[in-house]
Amino acid sequence: MAAIKKLKPTTPGQRQRIAPTFEEITTDKPYKPLLEPIKRTGGRNADGRRSMRYIGGGHKRRYRVIDFTRSKFDVSATVLTVEYDPNRTSRIALVEYTDGEKAYILAPQGIQVGQTVISGESVAPEIGNTLPLANIPLGTLVHAIELQPGRGAEMARSAGTYAQLLARDGKYATLKLPSGEMRMVLARCLATIGTVSNADHMNVNLGKAGRHRWLGRRPRVRGVVMNPVDHPMGGGEGRASGGHPRSRTGLLAKGKKTRNPKKHTNRLIISRRKK
């Protein structure tokens, strides 16, 4: 069954809409002890001045505290629910450990209620289990990957993403990332087996502007239609092309490299992402 659905064009907003089916969701009520409030900024900084444009409004949310460290080793946990999380593109799963503690984890693709997951040094490389890259078979697809041991998952966390473990050499493992980049990561870092859930998120079409507003996104304005005082590409008579593409602050776009050439992790990158 498909994870997305095309709606009948009963209204102009429904005509273009391609919506998720939510068929994997098992409950609509989150686990309250793992909720935290979110303070909305409207794109304003501590001085009250707007530092990020096109942010504001949207439905009120509460943050789901996700266990990205998976540091409870050799204690199995049972999946209780698979839930929607308004703060991320993937689904999350509520798990209960054998000692009674509950936690949210990123839900891997294909995880089911009642399934058991576990993290540890030498656990089986099965869907949802977390173990060091040093102990994962080569060729395995992984997600929620640490960059430094103990700091928690930082790579391959959004819907449908995964990295492939290609090789190991000494204390480093080589991963092919979702962007196409190949880089080395310490083999002591933890990763979770499988791919992140909700892979069809990339095919969703919200259908109307109002649905964007519900998500807290305000209308985005092109720089080329602004006045010269507002944007480097603004102004001109008629429909001027705007000159060289650049950001509001004058930083060249469309190909200018913005990564620091002296960044200390450059030595770990074997090949950069595909253009």
pLDDT single digits (tens) 23-34 = 999 999 999 999
At the topology level, CATH places domain 19-202 in: OB fold (Dihydrolipoamide Acetyltransferase, E2P) (2.40.50)
Separation of alpha carbons 227 and 14, rounded Å: 35
Tell whether the model's pLDDT for residue 1 goes beyond 60. Answer: no
Please give the full DSSP string across 104-158, using - where no structure is assigned. EEEPBTT--TT-EE-B-SS----TT-EEEGGGSPTT-EEESEESSTTS-EEES-S
Tell whether the model's pLDDT for residue 274 goes beyond 80. Answer: no
Number of Cα atoms under 13 Å in the Cβ half of residue 273? 8
> 188, 133, 198, 186: which is closest to 164 by C-alpha?
133
> 122, 76, 71: which is closest to 95 by C-alpha?
76
Strand arrangement of the beta sheet that strand 116-117 belongs to = 102-106, 92-97, 77-83, 116-117
The structure's pTM equals: 0.92
Q: Summarize the confidence of residues 173-189 as an average pLDDT.
A: 96
- The rounded radius of gyration (Å) of the Cα atoms in the chain is 22
pLDDT band for position 107 (cuts 50, 70, 90): very high
Domain ranges of the chain: 19-202
CA distances from 245 to 197, 222, 225, 233, 257 (A): 36, 11, 13, 7, 14
**CB-CB contact of 102 with 33 (8 Å):** yes
pLDDT single digits (tens) 60-101 = 999 999 999 999 999 999 999 999 999 999 999 999 999 999
